[in-house]
Structure 1
Amino acid sequence: MRTQVGIIGAGPAGLLLAHLLHLAGIDSVVVEARDRGYVEQRVRAGVLEHPTAELLREVGVGARMDAEGLPHHGLVLRFDGADHRMPLTELTGKTITVYGQQEVVKDLIARRLADEGQILFASTDVRPHDLTSDQPRITFTDAAGKPQELRCDVVAGCDGFHGVSRRSIPADRIQAYERLYPFAWLGILAKTPPSHEELIYAYHERGFALHSMRSPELTRLYLQVAPTESLADWPDSRVWDELHARLELAGSEFSLREGPVVDRLLAGMRSFVVEPMRYGRLFLAGDAAHIVPPTGAKGMNLAVADVRLLARALTVFLSGGGSALIDDYSRACLRRVWRAEHFSWWMTSMLHAFPDDDRFGRRLQLSQLRYVVESEAAGRSMAENYVGLPYEF
């Protein structure tokens, strides 16, 4: 097989990149290890920044998002036994949209197939080769068990943190920066209407909790837990008891609604960035290049920002317009990546209970929370980072 851009990974990054390239007249093939059913059902992020939602509309894949997504004009910080609303739209003029990552993926797959683009699902043993040449290739075994080779001009590694793309780069040609956090998130998806119309970030002495949602009928809830725990340690009854303890407010009308748990996950938390995001003709995008703790709701949004830049750079390069944009790709992406890394670290550090924290550390967290909600300047800074900074280029 032959194409211009071989894309490894059919997550939001890979699929959106393929769509953007298609709109620009650039051919691509997406190679994905999982089958279509798995890709469309895996539950991940759910908050779209304002620039992300705008881009999806601009490129013709935002209709269902606008019909079914939930626009939000604020969020709640719950601490000191009270709610403190952050008026995102009032402070920034922008909104966020709650719309599940798997829904974005479904929309992109449907559009890709309608455009007669190729997505090679259930492709195993995927390997990129000859990345420093002008004719890289990707080998894999297709869904029928037949060995295949895809020759291309460029390879886009959009296959996530555990994918093969980043691991194909020699260790001495890339620098990794990482911070591990001493806790994990336990998340459930419950078949019950949300208990509040907005997201609630709860700071509690027992640990952080988050009330979110995926639709008017589905609620997403998270608990901070020890990184050594397993899902078996947390039967549904224990999860609900802990959510009640961390989210309930004395004297408040808030009441946590319970319902059947339809999905559960346990995820460790880390910050991770590699520099540069390019090796020869291999370009990394999304989680293949960087990970943020989910507190700041930046993961999928960073992936979208990456491929927006990458699509433009590759279009110019493959159309004979020179290599200036692809040469600048890593630097341009990393400016936004590091800003999002800092914001996500800041939110995480402010809201979580640290195992070795003393009373002094907790007082510092509460002081920061109070400043954010009492100072218009501090609140605006948080709000503009949360809703998404404008694209620079």
Structure 2
Amino acid sequence: MKTQVAIIGAGPSGLLLGQLLHNAGIANVIIERQSPDYVLGRIRAGVLEQGMVDLLREAGVAERMDREGLVHDGFELAFNGRCEHIDLKGLTGGKSVMVYGQTEVTRDLMDARQACGAPTFYEASDVQPHDLQGERPSVTFVHQGQTLRLECDYIAGCDGFHGVSRQSIPADQLREFERVYPFGWLGILADTPPVNDELIYANHERGFALCSMRSPTRTRYYVQVAADERVEDWSDERFWDELKSRLPAHIAERLVTGPSIEKSIAPLRSFVVEPMQYGRLFLVGDAAHIVPPTGAKGLNLAASDVNTLFRILLKVYREGRIELTERYSAICLRRIWKAERFSWWMTSMLHRFPDTDDFSRRMQETELDYFVSSEAGRKTIAENYVGLPYETIE
């Protein structure tokens, strides 16, 4: 088999890249080791930056998102018993975020892929990229008992942190940066009305809490827990009691509780690999970087990688600008490190660390108070939250 771009991974980044390329007339094949149901079963974040929303619209997959998604023009920061509103729209010249679950984004992209007939191989095993430094790389894999070879011009590694793409690059060619946080997020999904119209990020002496949502009738709540906590030790009643204790009283008293339909603990970590390319292989999304979810940047960073690679490949195929491929990593990393900084800042300001003493707690409170009491501080938070601009490919 032959194609122009081989895409390893059928998560949202691989599917979005594939849809954009297909619409532009650039042939691509997606190879995924899991089944479609498994991919759709991943419960992930759902706050989309303005840039990702615009990119989904450009890809022609935004009809349901625009109909069912919840546009948020702000969010709340809660600390010291008070709530401070961050006016995203007013502070960023009209930008906002969209609350729309990653599962729904993936479903829309899957449906679009199926409708356009572009080839996708699910449940592919033994996926291996080859000849990455040559002019004609390839990917071999086993599908339905048959070994297949896909020749291509470029390979996009969209297969996540544990995927084969990054592992195919010689270790001495990469530099890794990592921070593992000493806590996780215990999250539940419940069919209850949201406690607030907008997200609430809470700093409390007992630990961080987040009030989020998936729809007007389905909520997603989180509380910070120790890294060694077990889901089995948390009944619904214990979770709701803990969440209420970490919210300002006027918020807690209107919280509607109910049975959870999903409960899990997510560890928090930061990870970046440099460079994000090796020959004709490009790393996209979680294959190259992980952020703690505090800043709502994981899926959005993957979308910005997709945007950068798509714009570069457009110029490669339409204008012969092959030299632009060498700039992919540098362009992506400039935005990634700024998003890592914002996620690190939000995590540092809102969580309780094992070594948090009285002085450190006062510093957290003062830092938050300083930022929300300043127009410049609020604007800094807002412009990072809605997402920094995508870099133009010249």
TM-score (ref. length: structure 1): 0.97
Structure 1, unmatched stretches of 5+, are none
2:123 partner SS: coil
Give the Cα–Cα distance (whole angstroms) in 2 for the partners of residues 160 and 208 of structure 1.
27
Give the Cα–Cα distance (whole angstroms) in 2 for the partners of residues 250 and 278 of structure 1.
50
Amino acid corresponding to residue 176 of structure 2 in structure 1 = A
TM-align CA RMSD: 1.3
Query: How far has the Cα of 1:147 moved from its partner?
Result: 2.1
Confirm or deny: 8 A CA contact 2:244 2:252 kept in the other structure. no
1:287 alignment counterpart: 286
Query: How far has the Cα of 1:375 moved from its partner?
Result: 0.7
1:378 alignment counterpart: 377
State the Cα deviation string for residues 109-131 of structure 1 (Å, max 9, x = none): 11111111111111122221221
Give the Cα–Cα distance (whole angstroms) in 2 for the partners of residues 117 and 50 of structure 1.
27
Give the Cα–Cα distance (whole angstroms) in 2 for the partners of residues 392 and 5 of structure 1.
22
Mean alpha-carbon deviation: is it higher for 284-293 or for 309-318? 309-318
* 1:136-151 aligned within 5 A: 136-142=137-143, 144-151=144-151
Cα 1:96–1:351 change in 2 (3 A) is same
* 1:223-234 aligned within 5 A: 223-234=223-234
Query: How far has the Cα of 1:319 moved from its partner?
Result: 4.6
Cα 1:123–1:251 change in 2 (3 A) is closer
2:117 alignment counterpart: 116
2:256 alignment counterpart: 257
Query: How far has the Cα of 1:256 moved from its partner?
Result: 1.4
Confirm or deny: 8 A CA contact 1:195 1:254 kept in the other structure. no
Give the Cα–Cα distance (whole angstroms) in 2 for the partners of residues 236 and 2 of structure 1.
52
Mean alpha-carbon deviation: is it higher for 373-382 or for 259-268? 259-268
Amino acid corresponding to residue 114 of structure 1 in structure 2 = A
Give the Cα–Cα distance (whole angstroms) in 2 for the partners of residues 326 and 265 of structure 1.
39
Confirm or deny: 8 A CA contact 2:16 2:59 kept in the other structure. no
State the Cα deviation string for residues 334-354 of structure 1 (Å, max 9, x = none): 110011000000000000001
Give the Cα–Cα distance (whole angstroms) in 2 for the partners of residues 186 and 145 of structure 1.
40
2:224 partner SS: strand
Query: How far has the Cα of 1:191 moved from its partner?
Result: 1.2
Overall identity of the aligned pairs, in %: 58
Give the Cα–Cα distance (whole angstroms) in 2 for the partners of residues 296 and 148 of structure 1.
41
Give the Cα–Cα distance (whole angstroms) in 2 for the partners of residues 138 and 239 of structure 1.
46
Confirm or deny: 8 A CA contact 1:196 1:254 kept in the other structure. no
Query: How far has the Cα of 1:151 moved from its partner?
Result: 1.6
2:353 partner SS: coil
1:38 alignment counterpart: 38
1:125 alignment counterpart: 126
Query: How far has the Cα of 1:367 moved from its partner?
Result: 0.3
Amino acid corresponding to residue 357 of structure 2 in structure 1 = D
2:295 alignment counterpart: 296
Amino acid corresponding to residue 330 of structure 1 in structure 2 = S
Query: How far has the Cα of 1:29 moved from its partner?
Result: 0.5
Confirm or deny: 8 A CA contact 1:73 1:88 kept in the other structure. yes
Query: How far has the Cα of 1:219 moved from its partner?
Result: 0.2
* 1:183-202 aligned within 5 A: 183-202=183-202
Query: How far has the Cα of 1:221 moved from its partner?
Result: 0.7
Confirm or deny: 8 A CA contact 2:195 2:251 kept in the other structure. no
Give the Cα–Cα distance (whole angstroms) in 1 for the partners of residues 136 and 320 of structure 2.
18
Confirm or deny: 8 A CA contact 1:76 1:84 kept in the other structure. yes
State the Cα deviation string for residues 283-307 of structure 1 (Å, max 9, x = none): 0010101111100001111111101
Give the Cα–Cα distance (whole angstroms) in 2 for the partners of residues 269 and 26 of structure 1.
37
Query: How far has the Cα of 1:55 moved from its partner?
Result: 1.8
1:355 alignment counterpart: 354
Give the Cα–Cα distance (whole angstroms) in 1 for the partners of residues 302 and 258 of structure 2.
32
Confirm or deny: 8 A CA contact 1:51 1:388 kept in the other structure. yes
Give the Cα–Cα distance (whole angstroms) in 1 for the partners of residues 307 and 81 of structure 2.
42
2:249 partner SS: coil
Mean alpha-carbon deviation: is it higher for 317-326 or for 52-61? 317-326
1:306 alignment counterpart: 305
1:198 partner SS: coil
2:175 alignment counterpart: 175
Give the Cα–Cα distance (whole angstroms) in 1 for the partners of residues 227 and 100 of structure 2.
28
Query: How far has the Cα of 1:70 moved from its partner?
Result: 0.2
Query: How far has the Cα of 1:45 moved from its partner?
Result: 1.2
State the Cα deviation string for residues 217-246 of structure 1 (Å, max 9, x = none): 110011111111221222222212211211
Amino acid corresponding to residue 118 of structure 1 in structure 2 = P
Query: How far has the Cα of 1:252 moved from its partner?
Result: 5.4
Give the Cα–Cα distance (whole angstroms) in 2 for the partners of residues 209 and 340 of structure 1.
21
Mean alpha-carbon deviation: is it higher for 236-245 or for 276-285? 236-245
Give the Cα–Cα distance (whole angstroms) in 2 for the partners of residues 106 and 49 of structure 1.
19
1:13 aligns with 2:13: yes
* 1:150-161 aligned within 5 A: 150-161=150-161
Give the Cα–Cα distance (whole angstroms) in 2 for the partners of residues 178 and 309 of structure 1.
24
State the Cα deviation string for residues 129-171 of structure 1 (Å, max 9, x = none): 22112222212221x2322222211111001111111111111
Give the Cα–Cα distance (whole angstroms) in 1 for the partners of residues 391 and 7 of structure 2.
25
State the Cα deviation string for residues 313-368 of structure 1 (Å, max 9, x = none): 12332456132211111111111001100000000000000111111100000001
Query: How far has the Cα of 1:198 moved from its partner?
Result: 0.6
1:392 aligns with 2:391: yes
1:96 alignment counterpart: 97
How many equivalent residue pairs?
391
TM-score (ref. length: structure 2): 0.96
Cα 1:254–1:198 change in 2 (3 A) is farther
Mean alpha-carbon deviation: is it higher for 253-262 or for 191-200? 253-262
Confirm or deny: 8 A CA contact 1:180 1:271 kept in the other structure. yes
Confirm or deny: 8 A CA contact 2:245 2:252 kept in the other structure. no
Query: How far has the Cα of 1:210 moved from its partner?
Result: 0.2
Cα 1:136–1:55 change in 2 (3 A) is same
1:342 alignment counterpart: 341
2:376 partner SS: helix
Mean alpha-carbon deviation: is it higher for 122-131 or for 218-227? 122-131
1:214 partner SS: strand
